[in-house]
Structure 1
Amino acid sequence: MPAGGAVIGHGIEHNKNNQRVEPLTRSPDVYGWLSWDRPAASLTTRCISLSNGRFGHPEQHRAISAREAACLQTFPKTYRFFGSLESRARQIGNAVPPKMAQAIGHSILRQASGS
């Protein structure tokens, strides 16, 4: 699959008459690959899993690493996460991106100071 591609509806079943059977949930499984030249999808706590979102590496047949996910979230390359791999992915996926938090903070300060 090319970078930025996606497979939607993975796991959809068909009945004995070969008619499509809709999943019980409203959101079908979606997985795909990031693209070098397009914004990344929102990261989740399972952002290092190929089967839990559009978190495939744009060129390699693998999910993005925790460090790659952290870079997408704008964490500095020197920022250290602690815990198991699952715990680190959860910290990254649940985080407000640092550069976004900084922009929001600056906006609040500008509004508070009246400038």
Structure 2
Amino acid sequence: MQKKQDIQSRKDIEKLVRVFYEKLLDDDLLQHFFVEITAIDLTTHLPIIFDFWESVLFQVGKYKNDTLDIHLELNHKYRLQTAHFNRWLELFNQTLDELFEGKKTQEAKDRALSIATII
């Protein structure tokens, strides 16, 4: 079995996020948040998420939004439940495991868990 590379660049983050969002949009529990409740335009939304994870993993500093406020606003529209965050985390980790391995990959998992726990 060939060893997977670690997350090393924005290009890797873009790959991670695109594959992850394919899973989110195909998931019975989560897709309605993106399709119905927020009606996200992925061409606008994905670059923001790329910036977020690049900022988290590489301290680049492009991301300027308040993640907590965004999700609190979403929670006012539709009650977010533990099951939603657990599924989000499961899909995120699954995507990471499929694509990458290494220190940055583990850091992404740790940060995702922290985010899911806080929100």
For the criterion TM > 0.5, the same-fold answer is no
Q: TM-score range by the shorter chain?
A: under 0.3
Normalising by structure 1, report the TM-score: 0.24
Normalising by structure 2, report the TM-score: 0.23
Q: Kindly indicate which of the two structures has a greater share of residues assigned to strand.
A: 1
**RCO greater where, 1 or 2, for CA within 8 Å and sep 6 or more?**
2
Larger Rg: 1
